[in-house]
Amino acid sequence: MAAGMRLAGPAAMLDFALAPASDDALAVRADPSALACVGDLLFVAETTGAIVEYCGARHRRIADLELVTTDTIGGIAHAPDGTLYVTRVGNGEAGAILRVDPAGQVRTLPWLPVAPYRSGIAYDAAAHVLYTTQYVKSRSGASEGAIVECDPDTGAPSMVLDGFLHPVAIAKLGSILVVTDARQRAVFRVELSAGRAVRRLQLATGLGRPYGVCGFDADSVIVSSRADDGAGELHRIWLDGQTAQIARGSWDPRGVASDGASVFVATVGQLLSFRP
């Protein structure tokens, strides 16, 4: 382990299949994909398209999203009014942002093109805008990656910054966007002014293939990655470029979320919890 890095074991392992349901009619499949955390609530997107809200041992199914064959959910963002915004990756034919209102009604934002693969998503409550990552795929892999700003009501897109290859996840801390790029194997910091990108910096590299990212506090994010030896890893990365490894194990990392104290990571069939 590199000097100055800290390694912690899991504080808890949550098995969805064993969690007691608040409604016996709701069956929860144990395969989480994307996560969002707001206070005591953890929102989980399953690979089936189900969106489930967890509060302690209780849970309730909020909505079921329509997916295309072998499709999955890329990310979840939560608005203060209880609305959820969810990206459907789309596999080059049905990329979308789906709006799930507090009553569980689902609506696709209409003005976004469906051809790009759509992955990460972040909501800026002050500006009432969404930021999402997109890319295309060919035989040579992912390319033409970009960050796009979207209207939360219509999906009307506006380019923020291109030049990425495979941007996966995105988080917003103040006027800064943090983006993971799996093909460039790097984490980037993008500085905004009036919603436009004014500077891009490589924040971290050498993490294997970075995947999920979420804010941890005002000055740092948590990034999940797959190391070159196949292990799953979690890293805390500060906006000045300092890094600390906080977990490593034989699990396949997917989305991450944090309540500012614990960090949750989705992996095949389970949800892991760590304390940095």
Count the Cβ atoms, other than its own, within 10 Å of residue 176. 18
181 or 93: which leads in pLDDT? 181
- Rounded to an integer, the average pLDDT of 191-197 is 94
164 or 251: which leads in pLDDT? 164
pTM score, two decimals?
0.90
Q: Which residues contact 249 (CB under 8 A, 6 or more apart)?
A: 10, 231, 232, 272
Q: Which residues contact 275 (CB under 8 A, 6 or more apart)?
A: 8, 11, 261, 262, 263
28-32, 40-44, 109-113, 206-210: segment of lowest average pLDDT: 28-32
Give the three-state DSSP class for 229. coil
Phi, psi of 245 (to 5 degrees): -80, 125
Asked if residue 228 has pLDDT above 90, the reply is yes
Share of the chain above pLDDT 90, in %: 77
Q: What is the rounded distance in angstroms from the CA atom of residue 110 to the CA atom of residue 98?
A: 9
21-35, 60-74, 87-101: segment of lowest average pLDDT: 21-35
Average predicted confidence (pLDDT) for the chain: 88
Q: Residue 132: what residue type?
A: T
- Rounded to an integer, the average pLDDT of 93-101 is 95
Asked if residue 217 has pLDDT above 70, the reply is yes
Q: Which residues contact 266 (CB under 8 A, 6 or more apart)?
A: 32, 33, 34, 35, 44, 212, 253, 254, 255, 256
Q: Which tokens belong to 99? A: 């709006």
For residue 87, the model assigns a pLDDT of 97
* pLDDT one-digit tens code per residue, 138-163: 999 999 999 999 999 999 999 999 99
Asked if residue 23 has pLDDT above 50, the reply is no
* Cβ proximity of 57 and 42 under 8 Å: no
Asked if residue 179 has pLDDT above 70, the reply is yes
Distance of CA 42 to the CA centre of its chain: 13
- Rounded to an integer, the average pLDDT of 242-249 is 96
For residue 13, the model assigns a pLDDT of 44
What are the Cα distances from residue 219, in Å, to 131, 136, 207, 214, 228?
19, 31, 19, 12, 27
Place of tokens 């389970």: 270
Burial category of 56 from C-beta neighbours within 10 Å (exposed 0-12, middle 13-18, buried 19 and up): exposed
For residue 69, the model assigns a pLDDT of 65
Asked if residue 30 has pLDDT above 80, the reply is no
Asked if residue 225 has pLDDT above 60, the reply is yes
Mark out the alpha helices in the chain (DSSP H runs): none
Place of tokens 């709701």: 26
